[in-house]
């Protein structure tokens, strides 16, 4: 069972929101769809779900198009949260899950398990509007997974959560992954993406600027960094050939280089210029890669 997005475009008037992306997500995979604000992530999700028709290209799940008729296979946590404020948690979930074909008894059993897991058992009969934003988000998450979908689409699932709730949700996502759910998610928090996803795509203005296996991307990415801890002013390292940028930080500097070999020249340059407590060549973080590939003032 594979999700295939094949040369897909979406045009709104003159604006090409998604401009020819191709990706494959295999069964059981955890896939990250990344990009700056307005890059086309939500539009892509809506096309995958069959809520929007692609202008060009084809999207399939197990070789069939996804549509509302097959919606019980899909769980969706939308970016614009869509719960009815006046309904209680129980009423809301009974309504949404009955649309997916679940019996009342099965819904209540699964709902209580999830509420227990998220430490909000007492909220079953509270109105959505009475819940804090974070707890509303937990309910929205439950609404996307209660029916045990094969394909789970999570649009910014971690936004607005405190660290404890974020960990709770992350663990739930990891458990669903272990149970074999295919998960596609977007996040602006690169740390979460690094922890969770295996493959990813970075969109910029609707186009893929980077895609593939996260570990391979990090290993092969040209951008390397040296972290130096020293009390000396290290700004002179900017003049070493191959150095892109020297960022002054609390304990010293972070030097970004074109390639790993430049580290030797950086090391030579600081030798005999005073005491250095720490010198370490590190792989770029996903944050560094994202800023390098998806950054730029015209992305907003």
Where does this chain touch ligand ATP (CB under 6 A) — which range of 11-19, 111-119, 220-228, 269-277?
Answer: 11-19
**CA 151/CA 202 separation, integer angstroms:** 20
Q: Which is nearer to ligand ATP, 12 or 95 (CB)?
A: 12
Stretch that binds ligand ATP, among 23-31, 41-49, 177-185, 252-260 (CB under 6 A): 41-49
Is residue 20 within the footprint of ligand ATP (CB under 6 A)? no
Q: Is 146 in the site for ligand ATP (CB under 6 A)?
A: no
203 class by beta-carbon count within 10 Å (0-12 exposed, 13-18 middle, 19+ buried): buried
User: With respect to ligand ATP, which residue has the nearer C-beta, 189 or 230?
Assistant: 189
Alpha-carbon 183 to chain mean position: 10
Q: Is 17 in the site for ligand ATP (CB under 6 A)?
A: yes
Which pair of tokens denotes residue 159? 């936004």
Residue 121, helix vs strand vs coil:
helix
Residue 175 token pair = 């458990």
233: its two tokens: 């002013």
Nearer to ligand ATP, 165 or 186 (CB): 186
Q: Considering beta carbons, is residue 79 or 124 the nearer one to ligand ATP?
A: 79
Q: Please give the radius of gyration of the chain, using alpha carbons only, rounded to the nearest integer.
A: 23
Q: Which of 38, 57, 134, 242 binds ligand ATP (CB under 6 A)?
A: 38
Residues ≥6 apart with Cβ < 8 Å to 280: 226, 227, 228
List the one residue from 42, 92, 135, 140 that touches ligand ATP (CB under 6 A): 42
The residue ranges that bind ligand ATP (CB under 6 A) are: 12, 15, 17, 35, 37-43, 79
């Amino acid at each position: 069972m594979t999700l295939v997005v094949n040369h897909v475009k979406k045009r709104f008037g003159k604006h090409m929101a998604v401009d020819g992306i191709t990706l494959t997500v295999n069964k059981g995979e955890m896939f990250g769809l990344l990009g700056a604000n307005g890059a086309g992530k939500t539009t892509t999700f809506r096309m995958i779900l069959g809520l929007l028709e692609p202008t060009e290209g084809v999207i399939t799940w197990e070789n069939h198009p996804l549509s509302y008729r097959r919606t019980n296979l899909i769980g969706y946590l939308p970016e614009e949260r869509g719960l009815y404020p006046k309904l209680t948690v129980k009423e809301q979930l009974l309504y949404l899950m009955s649309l997916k074909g679940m019996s009342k008894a099965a819904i209540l059993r699964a709902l209580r398990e999830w509420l227990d897991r998220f430490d909000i058992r007492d909220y079953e009969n509270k109105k959505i509007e009475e819940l804090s934003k974070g707890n509303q988000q937990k309910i929205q998450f439950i609404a996307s997974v209660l029916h045990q979908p094969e394909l789970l689409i999570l649009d910014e699932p971690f936004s607005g959560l405190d660290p404890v709730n974020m960990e709770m949700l992350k663990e739930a996502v990891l458990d669903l992954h272990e149970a074999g759910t295919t998960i596609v998610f977007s996040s602006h928090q690169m740390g979460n993406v690094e922890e969770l996803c295996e493959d990813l795509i970075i969109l910029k203005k609707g186009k893929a600027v980077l895609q593939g296996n996260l570990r391979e991307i990090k290993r092969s990415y040209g951008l390397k960094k040296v972290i130096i801890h020293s009390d000396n002013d290290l700004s002179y390292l900017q003049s070493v050939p191959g150095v892109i940028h020297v960022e002054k930080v609390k304990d010293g500097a972070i030097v970004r280089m074109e390639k790993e070999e430049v580290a030797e020249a950086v090391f030579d340059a600081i030798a005999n210029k005073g005491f250095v407590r720490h010198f370490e060549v590190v792989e770029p973080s996903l944050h560094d890669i994202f800023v390098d590939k998806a950054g730029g003032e015209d992305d907003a």
